Copies of this chain bind each other. A is one copy, B any other.
Amino acid sequence: MLFFTQCFGAVLDLIHLRFQHYKAKRVFSAAGQLVCVVNPTHSLKYAPTRCAAVQASTEQGILPPCHHHEAVHDPQLVPCTCPLFSCPWEGHLEVVVSHLRQTHRISILQGAEIVFLATDMHLPAPTDWIIMHSCLGHQFLLVLRKQEKHEGHPQFFATMMLIGTPTQANNFTYRLELNRNQRRLKWEATPRSILECVDSVISDGDCLVLNTSLAQLFSDNGSLAIGIAITTSKVHSSEAEM
């Protein structure tokens, strides 16, 4: 009986995912764009001390990884960069992706341009929507976070981090685009390195920021579709180009 109940649950989940995917396809009918349905995850941490080490070091002009431990024996080891959990793991940068996939079950998608469809935008803050994006020979982490900076006024913050060093990150430009209801909002920037804390990028507000009313205007039936494109950055075009 339990087996049949579980089977029925799995079928329902499949139907739900199929429906979300169909909805996304309807919204993003452009051929060749991969639509990825991303379900929310309630964040299990938001330790204010998580970035203390980074901030202190940044003030001294050094850019260290986001350490959880005071003493790191091997300077090439980086801590787990998953923004969801306070995870004690640390390892080499090359194995961060497999750690994120295996331990934190973060999906990875291929393609220069994809659509990130975050579902259930109404869920209370703090909530995160996370995927990895493999493109141009590198892996990127896209984080959409619903957070209350001012009590009772949740905002949405979206940013892209390269799973690589800050020097490597400088070679790329990422674009996040929202397009609905005769409104379009585009954010373009150089991705930050995963060695910088995603928490501090978001708390600095140096990312795409949406208030609740804009998020509602751009979302369709509780889901927010964000078009993502990554390019290699040329010498930055003159800032005058508008």
Contacts and interface: CB of A to CB of B under 8 A. Distances in A.
Interface string A224-237: 00010100000010
Interface in A28-57: 28-30, 33
Interface string A12-35: 000000000000000111100100
Given A28-B242, A179-B239, A189-B182, A204 B213 contact: yes
Taken together, the copies of this chain in the complex come to 2
A127 interface: no
A190 B180 CA distance: 12
11 contacts: A28-B242, A29-B240, A30-B238, A30-B242, A115-B242, A177-B242, A179-B239, A183-B187, A184-B187, A205-B214, A206-B214
Interface of A: 27-30, 33, 113, 115, 149-150, 153, 173, 177, 179-180, 182-190, 204-206, 209, 211-214, 217, 227, 229, 236, 238-242
